Amino acid sequence: MTSPVYPSIPVLSLVAVGLLTSLSPAHAGDPALERAHLVAAVRQLDMLDRLAEHAASASPSEHSRSRYHFDYARLREDLERVRAGIHDYLTPQRAQPRDPEDLAGNYVAERPEPEDAP
């Protein structure tokens, strides 16, 4: 039995860029179309989150000797923040939803040196 093929992180990045550029400014005056695009964006973010979760579980970061590893937890936190922002926009509690906190954006984490190293 073969395992399913999952896209690598560069593919995830391309999907994210495609998602962000697919929201055409030409349709900015149509609230129903904007809502449909944002709902589709949330579905794509859900897919990205599942792919990142799978990649994290398949990542050899625990046993790898490399100094750096991809920080899947931080990526998933940022995806959740974007998803929450879209949700807040689609179901506003006030006139203009606003979240001034920046995304982390840096997904490379340095592995700490083992304490028993010479």
- Report pLDDT digits (tens) over 52-67: 999 988 877 555 677 7
Helix residue spans in the chain (DSSP H):
9-21, 31-58, 72-90
Give me 103's structure tokens: 């995304």
Per the structure block, which two tokens stand in for 81?
A: 């923040």
pTM of the model: 0.57
| Six token digits for residue 19 | 């998602």
For the chain, the domains span 9-93+106-110
Residue 105 region, left (φ>0) first, then alpha (ψ -120 to 50), else beta? Answer: left
Question: What pLDDT does 1 receive?
Answer: 47
Which residues have CB under 8 Å from 105's CB, separation 6+? 78
Which residue in 80, 87, 18 sits closest to 52, CA to CA? 80
pLDDT tens-digit profile, the chain (118 residues): 455 555 556 666 666 666 666 655 555 578 899 999 999 999 999 999 999 999 988 877 555 677 788 888 999 999 999 999 999 889 877 656 566 777 777 888 887 777 765 5
